[in-house]
Amino acid sequence: MARRSVPIIKQLLSKSSSSENPALLSSCFKSKIDAQNRSVTYMPRPGDGAPRGVTLIPGDGIGPLVTGAVEQVMDAMHAPVYFEKFEVHGDMKKVPQEVMDSIKRNKVCLKGGLVTPVGGGVSSLNVQLRKELDLYASLVDCFNLPGLPTRHENVDIVVIRENTEGEYSGLEHEVVPGVVESLKFCSERIAKYAFEYAYLNNRKKVTAVHKANIMKLADGLFLESCREVATKYPGIKYNEVIVDNCCMQLVSKPEQFDVMVTPNLYGNLVANTAAGIAGGTGVMPGGNVGADHAVFEQGASAGNVGNDRIVEQKKANPVALLLSSAMMLRHLQFPSFADRLETAVKKVIFEGKYRTKDLGGQSTTQEVVDAVIAALD
């Protein structure tokens, strides 16, 4: 697997700034929101402000509802993006070539959830996308939203996991009938990405999550990579935690974590746990990034993708994908539009009048979208 140096990642990553809009918020609301305002950096490239093409995959189940919500809000903001929409479903054998060509041309994709068949040898299209586009870093931003009550306060965790290798990547085969072997590798580039992300976003600590006490070779190599990279960032505190202890610490004292870097499978579990603690998977944004491409989607697992009742009632929560699309706007070098969108979403959550069932309300997707549009400055 190719290795990339820190200077290359520094070139790909640059810190974006966000602007405040005091006219929109009351002083009480603004003070609470300010604590959450921070720019999430996703390898933005220089741009001239011209509209950018984005490949849009509505996906399965609630996917069309939440991607439709994003389209409406983008249109209301007159955001400088246009969508190339394609029908892709999780039961397909592979992502259609025209879709891959569109993503490679646009460099950016926004997608709803795709149902992953269980067993039967059918490959996940989500994994296919990550492999073919080499989206080696998955990032999930888990933080408390003002006005949304949770068991823990001051949660602000970024989970960065390796996205193309390890058990969760599907690198497995049957050696002989009844004997299945799973392949696990490690790459130092995810460690470099995590530390560079922390450095550029003024984060103070990086925690490596592992099981090296048992997986001494594979996870041992992962730790060696993290330790080596950590020496190049003396201003960032580095520590390590075994994955089972990590889960216990997450549910008991999540505020101790800042940036977490993990191998593939552990990261999927840790990210969903952190998302549940911070307010639920329906409000956590995320993205999958590589050297050349980025795919933005709901940060934690969209477990309700196939929930027919939510689809029929049209009560899917669009917040996670709206916040993911704000990340996408920053990635495209449109930070002011990203700030407007994030501020409007947080205002709606804070006021609490329009919330879907998973957040304790009874609003439909469209009612939440209308509220967000009305809250745009």
Q: Enumerate the domain spans of the chain.
A: 51-138+284-376, 151-278
CATH number of 151-278: 3.40.718.10
Residues 152/277, Cβ–Cβ less than 8 Å: yes
Supply φ then ψ for residue 241, to 5 degrees: -145, 135
Provide the pLDDT for residue 65. Answer: 94
Q: Which contacts (CB < 8 Å, 24+ apart) does range 365-368 have?
A: 365/65, 365/66, 365/68, 365/69, 365/314, 365/315, 365/316, 365/317, 365/318, 366/69, 366/314, 368/69, 368/317, 368/318, 368/319
Query: Quick check: do 51-138+284-376 and 151-278 share a fold?
Result: yes
197 CB-contact burial (10 Å; exposed 0-12 / middle 13-18 / buried 19+): buried
Three-state DSSP state, 80: coil
Indicate the pairing of strand 237-242 with strand 205-210: parallel
Residues 302/316, Cβ–Cβ less than 8 Å: no
CATH number of 51-138+284-376: 3.40.718.10
Provide the pLDDT for residue 14. Answer: 44
Cα–Cα distance for residue pair 43/12, rounded to 1 Å: 5
Three-state DSSP state, 317: coil
Q: Which residues of the chain have pLDDT under 50?
A: 1-36, 38-41, 43-46, 169, 173, 180
How many residues are recorded in the chain?
Answer: 377
Q: What angle do CA 71, 73, 78 make, to 5 degrees?
A: 95
Provide the pLDDT for residue 33. Answer: 43
Q: What is the pLDDT of residues 272-284, one digit of tens each?
A: 999 999 999 899 9
